[in-house]
Chain A
């Protein structure tokens, strides 16, 4: 069974017929062609597929594509403010070596973006709590936390 859905991805309106069994994650990757969002566990444990729906982080694997009707979705592809410009988080992740295999990075970036949007000066505890639904098996998290702290400082400096 297919249904028509219309939603916005990274500011761009999309209209498509999607299989009603399809997860938003599969629809984003296979129908929209945005493969930045990763499929890790596919059952809501790992956080690799984190996207923002109407500004709130969710696991795209636990949302059906048909539920996206009328919603605004942000994925890692929408994080860059412009061509050849990186979001301060992306820049800090590169400088701090916060990404090794990179599979968890898109989900962590989206979660970190939400964290810093809501709380521009997070404590270490806020950062750990904010990322408790995102698993990274390479880094041991230290460099990820370093990068988020660093991006927070830079974003704060840019605002003042």
Chain B
């Protein structure tokens, strides 16, 4: 493996200072399931890694009915995937977590790491965007909270400034009127990067859709919302024809590229199919 220096941060302040002082080729080392691969395959030039896993207070998971679900930067995908609360209240997150890498990878990989990597095809991002999650960011001068939809600025790029560290994520509470789904489309069921991923979070009151958010993964430079399709569905009963028209609109709203996993045309077609399917699945919560 290409050589790098290893630093163990004791506190957030320490980690932030190391990131600022050690220069450009310095990266936070959390689960390491992307970073170590990138070092080994020489995809990323790394001089220093700053291990944040000894920093206290970043491993907590809490839930309350007003704030929702909050988990720290060190919480692994596997731990959340197995959490009964996630299985019961957030089937969308559960589906995304269970489809990421392998069991071995999920025992190391963190959700915060997955969002900071900012891959357009990251599985955890669409359901977090559809749920309207918030990202907690530490810096030595100013703490801030950013809506996750505003966190990404491009493939592999985020709003994080040098020395800033994501400490956790808050997902709003899952009420009784909420329906949620995430559908990942790939060539196989496990150890797969998504070709297209569609997340839908909606709420229904007396059979009418009062809110819906559709998030599309792997069909744009970042995970995208489909605002026009969403607007077409608010206030409707989500009958088959309304869903069909909205799914067609979502196909227009996405901006896929062709790459090794699929062509742009195929991805666009799958956005149409999966948007309809994800809405149907989200509605099954009420069945």
Q: A-side interface residues toward B, CB under 8 Å? A: 1, 3, 20-23, 42-45, 47, 50, 56-59, 61-64, 66-67, 111, 129-130, 132-134
Contact = CB atoms under 8 A, between A and B. Distances in A.
A47 B104 contact: yes
B40 interface: yes
Given A43-B41, A56-B78, A63-B32, A111 B103 contact: yes
Nearest to A132: B190
Given A23-B36, A133-B101, 13 more contacts: A1-B5, A20-B6, A44-B37, A44-B104, A44-B105, A47-B104, A57-B104, A62-B32, A62-B108, A64-B32, A64-B51, A67-B53, A133-B105
B1 A23 contact: yes
Q: Which of A20, A23, A130, A134 has the most chain B CB atoms closer than 10 A to its own CB?
A: A20
Contacts of A1: 5-6
A133 to B, nearest CB: 2
B6 A3 contact: yes
Nearest to B32: A62
Interface of B: 1-6, 8, 29, 32-33, 36-37, 40-41, 51, 53, 78, 101-105, 107-108, 189-191
B220 to A, nearest CB: 27
A28 B111 CA distance: 28
Q: Which of B4, B8, B105, B107 has the most chain A CB atoms closer than 10 A to its own CB?
A: B107
Nearest to B79: A56
Contacts of A50: 104
A66 B33 CA distance: 16
Q: Sort A-B residue pairs by CB-CB distance and give the 7 closest, nearest first.
A: A133-B102, A132-B190, A20-B6, A43-B37, A59-B104, A56-B107, A133-B104
A43 B107 CA distance: 15
Contacts of A47: 102, 104
Nearest to A20: B6
B100 to A, nearest CB: 11
A30 B45 CA distance: 26
B51 A21 contact: no
B118 to A, nearest CB: 19
A62 B33 contact: yes
A66 B104 contact: no
Nearest to B33: A62
B114 to A, nearest CB: 14
A129 to B, nearest CB: 8
Contacts of A129: 190
Contacts of B108: 58-59, 62-63
Contacts of B32: 62-64
Given A57-B104, A58-B104, A133 B1 contact: no
Contacts of B2: 21
A21 B6 contact: yes
